[in-house]
């Protein structure tokens, strides 16, 4: 079965098409196409994501990305005879005039592609951005008569951590054009997910498929947000996480490493599994105020000390929550899980067989993880949604009824 997935929750417009087996005991799929168009360069001038700009860019980019994804998947077939369309798209795409125009120009010129399901992120994220993807899914569904499976973006991050390239793919020769195949690694519930991104810092307990309970979360800034804000104080470009990580690594590998700064480890002994990063950010700000000139050396030592503080808190709380909840596995996903220091520190503290960290190429936002979540929901026979009832919800949280996307 084939799934088309759409992801527009933040500043990445992403479309993926996968072909999965029907085997619930050994879920695996080939990636026919996996496209991510990042708007990072556009948003960099604002030092963060600007929602109305993100919405406009998604509306502009979805049709070209769909076209490319269908082409790459060998699913693009031009129509010989152009019938006049009777779809009522104006209503569905009334808030996305640019997308409506491109939709009406392109979709009637192609045959209905051989896909079985449309998976779309309907929250959480920037609501105007989410709506573009949701309305696009609705328009495609009503035109092609395909069912829609709504997917929680954070569930996508959880499943991205469980994806592993098949052995023969790992050995594949360079230049091979055969599609990449992913297996879902077998897990035994309960599991604990550490989700760390620009918008979220959460510890989520899952006792069964699609059942979630948030056992810890940030009280203020998300960890990625803290990375980005500290990077800004250090005059580093957006997004700051990778920049801080790079500088910190230079200190870590240098021979005459001196700590220079030591920042607080907030909420380390709070007795719960919550986080707080705003105080840490303020501590960096005060430390920098005492400094006359921000030299490259000081930038590096601040980046290092900040990353050490963040890593220690994240890892200690995750290990403590895992012990407390008695889980069999820990899964780690979201943009910040690309961080080398955090990955290494988690690997040091946890057994290899119980730790699943997202492959680096799937840590950031992408539609492949949404396709994977949609695929598993399909295999577990969870219901699709009537598009009239489908909405986007920027504040959607994991947890709640198994049959609902919450």
Q: How far is the CB of 224 from ligand KG4 (least distance, A)?
A: 3
- State which residue, 141 or 366, has the beta carbon closest to ligand KG4: 366
39 lies in the binding site for ligand KG4 (CB under 6 A): no
End-to-end alpha-carbon separation of the chain, Å? Answer: 25
Binding partner of residue 57 among Zn ion, ligand KG4, none, CB cut-off 5 to 8 Å per kind: none
Binding partner of residue 333 among ligand KG4, Zn ion, none, CB cut-off 5 to 8 Å per kind: none
339 lies in the binding site for ligand KG4 (CB under 6 A): yes
Binding partner of residue 198 among Zn ion, ligand KG4, none, CB cut-off 5 to 8 Å per kind: ligand KG4
123 lies in the binding site for ligand KG4 (CB under 6 A): no
Contact by Cβ (8 Å): 117, 149: yes
DSSP annotation of 84 reads P
Grouping H, G, I as helix, E, B as strand and the rest as coil, residue 1 is: coil
**Of residues 354-383, those binding ligand KG4 (CB under 6 A):** 364-365
**Of residues 212-271, those binding ligand KG4 (CB under 6 A):** 224, 227-228, 239-242, 245
- State which residue, 19 or 155, has the beta carbon closest to Zn ion: 155
12 lies in the binding site for Zn ion (CB under 5 A): no
Contacting range for ligand KG4; rule: CB under 6 A; set: 90-98, 103-111, 137-145, 332-340: 332-340
Contacting range for Zn ion; rule: CB under 5 A; set: 20-28, 75-83, 357-365, 388-396: 357-365
Contact by Cβ (8 Å): 310, 280: yes
Q: Which of residues 215, 365, 374, 377 is near Zn ion by CB under 5 A?
A: 365
Q: How far is the CB of 226 from ligand KG4 (least distance, A)?
A: 8
Q: How far is the CB of 195 from ligand KG4 (least distance, A)?
A: 9
- State which residue, 202 or 365, has the beta carbon closest to Zn ion: 365
Q: Which helix (H) or strand (E) holds 245?
A: helix 240-253
> Which residues in 255-277 are b (16+ Cβ under 10 Å) and which e?
eeeeeebebebbbeeeeebbbbb
Contact by Cβ (8 Å): 367, 5: yes
Helix axis angle, 296-325 to 278-289, nearest 10°? 160
C-alpha–C-alpha distance, residues 129 and 180, integer Å:
29
C-alpha–C-alpha distance, residues 404 and 61, integer Å:
29
Q: Which of residues 13, 30, 180, 197 is near Zn ion by CB under 5 A?
A: 197
Give me 103's structure tokens.
Answer: 């939709």
Give Rg (Cα) of the chain. 22
Return the residue matching tokens 């519930």: 189
Please provide residue 206's backbone torsions phi and psi, each rounded to the nearest 5 degrees. Answer: -125, 115
133 lies in the binding site for ligand KG4 (CB under 6 A): no
Binding site for ligand KG4 (CB under 6 A): 10, 197-199, 224, 227-228, 239-242, 245, 334-336, 338-339, 364-365
Residue ranges that bind Zn ion, judged by CB under 5 A: 197, 365
């Amino acid at each position: 079965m084939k799934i088309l997935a759409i992801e527009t929750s933040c500043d990445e417009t992403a479309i993926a098409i996968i072909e999965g087996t029907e085997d619930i005991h050994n879920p695996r799929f080939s990636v026919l196409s996996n496209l991510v168009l990042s708007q990072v360069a556009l948003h960099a001038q604002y030092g963060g994501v600007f929602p109305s700009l993100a919405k406009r860019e998604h509306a502009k980019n979805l049709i070209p990305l769909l076209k490319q994804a269908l082409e790459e998947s060998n699913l693009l077939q031009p129509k010989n005879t152009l019938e006049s369309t009777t779809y009522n798209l104006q209503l569905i795409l009334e808030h996305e005039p640019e997308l409506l125009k491109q939709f009406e120009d392109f979709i009637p010129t192609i045959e209905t592609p051989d896909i079985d399901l449309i998976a779309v992120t309907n929250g959480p994220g920037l609501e105007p951005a989410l709506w573009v993807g949701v309305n696009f899914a609705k328009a495609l569904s009503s035109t092609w008569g395909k069912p829609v499976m709504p997917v929680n973006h954070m569930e996508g991050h959880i499943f991205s951590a469980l994806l592993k390239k098949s052995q023969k793919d790992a050995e594949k020769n360079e230049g091979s054009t055969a599609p990449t195949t992913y297996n879902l690694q077998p897990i035994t519930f309960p599991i604990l997910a550490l989700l760390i991104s620009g918008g979220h810092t959460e510890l989520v307990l899952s006792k069964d498929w699609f059942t979630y309970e948030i056992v810890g979360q940030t009280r203020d800034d998300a960890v990625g947000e803290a990375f980005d804000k500290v990077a800004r104080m250090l005059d580093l470009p957006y997004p700051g996480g990778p920049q801080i990580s790079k500088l910190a690594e230079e200190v870590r590998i240098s021979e005459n490493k001196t700590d220079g700064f030591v920042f607080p480890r907030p909420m380390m002994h709070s007795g719960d599994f919550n986080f707080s990063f705003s105080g840490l950010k303020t501590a960096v700000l005060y430390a920098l105020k005492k400094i006359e000139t921000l030299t490259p050396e000081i930038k590096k030592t601040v980046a290092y000390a900040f990353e050490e503080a963040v890593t220690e808190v994240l890892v200690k709380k995750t290990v403590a929550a895992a012990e407390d909840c008695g889980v069999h596995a820990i899964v780690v996903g979201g943009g910040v899980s690309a961080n080398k220091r955090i990955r290494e520190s988690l690997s040091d503290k946890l057994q290899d067989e119980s730790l699943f960290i997202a492959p680096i190429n799937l840590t950031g936002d992408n539609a492949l993880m949404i396709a994977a979540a949609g695929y598993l929901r399909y295999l577990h026979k969870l219901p699709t949604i009537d598009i009239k009832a489908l909405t986007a919800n920027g504040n959607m949280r994991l947890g709640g009824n198994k049959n609902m996307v919450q």
